[in-house]
Chains A and B, each alone.
Chain A
Amino acid sequence: MRRIKWAALVIAALLIGACQQAPGSGQKPAKLTIAAVQGNEDAALKAVAPLYEQKTGIKIEIVEFPYDQLYEKLVTTFKANSATYDLVMMDDPWMPKFGTDESLQPLDSSYGFKRDSDIPDVVYDVGTWPPPRGAVPPAAKGKAAHLIGITIVGNVEMFMYRSDKGAAPKTWDEVKANADKNKAANFYGYLVRGKATNPVVADFLPILWSFGGDVFDQNWNVTIDNAASLKAVKFLVQDLKAAAQPGPESTDAADRDRLMAIGQGYQSTVWPGEITSVIQNASVSQVVGKVAYIPMPAGPSGKGVGMMGNWLLGVPKASPNGQAAADFITWLTSTETQKTYVDNGGIPARKSLLNDSALNQKNPYFSALAKSLDAVPNWRPRTDQWNAVETILGTNLNAALAGTATPEAAVQKAADAIRTLMKGAGY
């Protein structure tokens, strides 16, 4: 009888313990675990995290994964409703997937997050689901919008060129002219990041938008095979390729950065992460002070369109430490912490920091990043099917770049496959 009593007591204690671990608990945990992307994007996060432990006593454990692996890990963790991570770092094209699957806790209604006027609206919009503007997936229509992620890396794709050799191009036509003019032996007029899937699509989308093309229209009709889109494809795989490095179809960001850093490239698109880790890094780069950064040049449509590539922090639904995780986000994105974050190579989204003249001296791309955010860059289509769409588009663009398919055939094949995919997904 006594044994039964003891067993009941133990079971009750375990149940109470389990209840105390319910998601969103307000208790102060000993540790917060963050799933983060390995590389330049989480370097500043790692640098400032110990400061939070000093301030609050809560240890921040950062578990790093490479880009592709992080996405897969988050999908499996969310599907399993695992409480492994209290915070997760996400690339902005992943938000539709996690928003549709309701994998994250709403930061506004659950933890009182509000917009800060020092941070551009587009930065909050990219972390909001369903998206507050543009095409909304059928499954998300009519649902209340919630903030499910806060930007901690204010990435926007920009443009870089050798300012010691020429003036800033205002249009893509000038980009092409400069490429042809500067092309020489072992010096390439334009560096194409053309590796299949994500890399080539990231390089191409700003060109596509600047040429007035797009992947979808506002009603999810596929438009990648219309005249404007085809013109953009030809511009990349024929005009720019003619002045590009050998083997552009197998070139990724690491190869492009190396060519630029050793002084063998004139211009290319660029992400802030590439600038801080390689191009402006005096220990490896021979072109520090010789490269300038500008927002995307304009196309025939008359405007240049940059591309969002923000990294956001969100709180998984299964995290038992929701309040503590939200407190960490508040601390990390505060102006005070962001100053230290920037000192450690972080890429901020705060206007006050991006426009700070002293910080601009140290980070010559800040001004271009501020302008790019002000101009409201495009985001990749907000659909949970984006990863599959990107794979289809990126594979066919790569084929056109490699010369194994004509631009017309590649675009048609991609359009047909994307139409089939979207139809099957209920669009």
Chain B
Amino acid sequence: MRRRGRRWRAVLITPVLAVIVVLYAFPIYWLIATSLKSRSQLFQATLSLFPEAPTLQPYADVLIDRGMWILLRNSIVVCGATVVLALTVGLLITYPITRLDVSPRVRAGVLNWALSLRFLPPIAVVVPYFAVVRTVGLYDQPLALIFIYSLFNLPFTIWMLKGFLTEIPREIEEAALADGASRWTAFRHILLPLATPGLLAAGVIVFSFSWSEFLFALILTSTPNAQTFPVGVQGLVTQFEIIWNDMAAAGTIAMLLPLVLMVLARRHVVAGLTFGVVREK
């Protein structure tokens, strides 16, 4: 009787799940299919679900002819540096409030300050930040993006690392200290290896957030010296034409790196998102 109930449930749930999968997967399929279509196919009277003569030309157009490989390189450099900076500063802030005897008021104050940063809408700071960047000579420099991306990702990093670091028993570190290790040695050889999954998860998420950022990249850069990939993708909408196949190719490329990182670190990312951020200890 119970087995029949399970079978009926499976019969009902499977089509629902299939519909959900199609809903999620179809835009990705459409993006990839469009990226493989020729320009002439896009100008046909009837739309086709499949590329008639699949071509990689749009990828070559985007990366080589339009020179967007430079913007791709900039994105990797900016996002990579943002991850390193955000994690470093995040650890410097999180370590004392989770591992040292800091008063609860200071601890709560730091965490609330980080949270308040998260509520700050980027549009509110873009103009003053632009003025600062101009004054210190960082306009059209990747460094300007690295600083602001790190700042906006810091709250997330702090809250996520706090969750992970709190999970690691203090006794392990204290045992190392009792055995004569310095605070730095205990941090480097005991805490850091144990916190690696958390750092990895936070790094992947910070990388993904920075990767798709557009507003600051648009305002703070003016040449391929510092422009990032999203700025280049937007440029494929011209006054008289939307270059759909090139845009789809650029979209596929833009999607690829965060997707691969997310797949590789999915276990840690899910763990981080489920307990690291929300649980207060």
A residues whose Cβ falls under 8 Å from a Cβ of B: 33, 35, 37-41, 61, 63-67, 69, 73, 76-77, 80, 82, 84-85, 186, 253-254, 257-258, 261-264, 271, 273-274, 277-278, 283-285
A258, B134: Cα distance in complex, Å: 43
Main secondary structure of the interface of B (DSSP, over half): loop
| Nearest CB in chain B to that of A82: its residue | B139
Within 8 A of A (CB), among B9-59: 39-40, 42-45
Within 8 Å CB of B236, what residues of A? Answer: 38
Which of the 9-residue segments B72-80, B84-92, B156-164, B217-225 touches chain A?
B217-225
Residue B173 interfacial (CB < 8 Å): no
B239 to A262, Cβ gap below 8 A?
Answer: no
Within 8 Å CB of A82, what residues of B? Answer: 134, 139, 222
Within 8 Å CB of B237, what residues of A? Answer: 66
Within 8 Å CB of B39, what residues of A? Answer: 283-284
Residue B130 interfacial (CB < 8 Å): yes
A40 to B222, Cβ gap below 8 A?
Answer: no
B43 to A66, Cβ gap below 8 A?
Answer: no
B238 to A66, Cβ gap below 8 A?
Answer: yes
B240 to A264, Cβ gap below 8 A?
Answer: no
Within 8 Å CB of A186, what residues of B? Answer: 45
**A-B pairs, 10 with minimum CB distance:** A39-B238, A284-B43, A67-B239, A253-B240, A262-B45, A38-B235, A63-B223, A84-B222, A254-B242, A274-B240
A63, B241: Cα distance in complex, Å: 19
Q: What is the CB-to-nearest-CB distance from A82 to chain B, in angstroms, rounded to a whole number?
A: 6
Within 8 Å CB of A37, what residues of B? Answer: 238-239
B222 to A63, Cβ gap below 8 A?
Answer: yes
Q: What is the CB-to-nearest-CB distance from A78 to chain B, in angstroms, rounded to a whole number?
A: 12
Contact A66/B140 with A76-B130, A285-B43 known, Cβ cut-off 8 Å: no
B241 to A40, Cβ gap below 8 A?
Answer: yes
A274, B242: Cα distance in complex, Å: 12
A65, B238: Cα distance in complex, Å: 9
A63 to B224, Cβ gap below 8 A?
Answer: yes
A263, B43: Cα distance in complex, Å: 10
A84, B39: Cα distance in complex, Å: 34
Selected from B42, B234, B239, the residue in CB contact (under 8 A) with A253 is: B239
Selected from A39, A77, A258, A264, the residue in CB contact (under 8 A) with B222 is: A77
Q: What is the CB-to-nearest-CB distance from A290 to chain B, in angstroms, rounded to a whole number?
A: 15
* Total residue contacts A-B, CB cutoff 8 A: 78
A69 to B43, Cβ gap below 8 A?
Answer: no
A423, B278: Cα distance in complex, Å: 53
Q: What is the CB-to-nearest-CB distance from A251 to chain B, in angstroms, rounded to a whole number?
A: 13
Interface centre among B42, B139, B224, B235 (most CB of A within 10 A): B235
A284 to B40, Cβ gap below 8 A?
Answer: yes
Q: What is the CB-to-nearest-CB distance from B220 to chain A, in angstroms, rounded to a whole number?
A: 10
A66 to B240, Cβ gap below 8 A?
Answer: no
Within 8 Å CB of B238, what residues of A? Answer: 37-40, 66-67
16 A-B pairs with CB atoms under 8 Å apart are A38-B238, A39-B241, A40-B240, A63-B224, A66-B235, A76-B219, A80-B130, A80-B134, A253-B240, A254-B241, A254-B242, A258-B43, A273-B239, A278-B43, A278-B241, A283-B40
Within 8 Å CB of A283, what residues of B? Answer: 39-40
Within 8 Å CB of B235, what residues of A? Answer: 38, 64-66, 69
A278 to B223, Cβ gap below 8 A?
Answer: no
Q: What is the CB-to-nearest-CB distance from B157 to chain A, in angstroms, rounded to a whole number?
A: 30
Q: What is the CB-to-nearest-CB distance from B179 to chain A, in angstroms, rounded to a whole number?
A: 49
Give me 20 other A-B pairs in contact (C-beta within 8 A), A33-B223, A67-B239, A80-B134 excluded.
A37-B239, A40-B241, A66-B237, A66-B239, A67-B238, A73-B222, A76-B130, A76-B219, A82-B134, A84-B139, A84-B222, A186-B45, A253-B239, A253-B240, A253-B241, A254-B242, A258-B43, A262-B44, A277-B241, A284-B40
B239 to A41, Cβ gap below 8 A?
Answer: yes
A40, B43: Cα distance in complex, Å: 17
A80, B219: Cα distance in complex, Å: 12
Q: What is the CB-to-nearest-CB distance from A252 to chain B, in angstroms, rounded to a whole number?
A: 8
Within 8 Å CB of A76, what residues of B? Answer: 130, 219
Within 8 Å CB of A264, what residues of B? Answer: 45
| Nearest CB in chain B to that of A261: its residue | B43
Selected from B224, B234, B240, the residue in CB contact (under 8 A) with A69 is: B234
Q: What is the CB-to-nearest-CB distance from A242 to chain B, in angstroms, rounded to a whole number?
A: 23
B223 to A84, Cβ gap below 8 A?
Answer: yes
Within 8 Å CB of A73, what residues of B? Answer: 222
A80 to B43, Cβ gap below 8 A?
Answer: no
A266, B78: Cα distance in complex, Å: 50
A41, B240: Cα distance in complex, Å: 10
A283, B40: Cα distance in complex, Å: 6
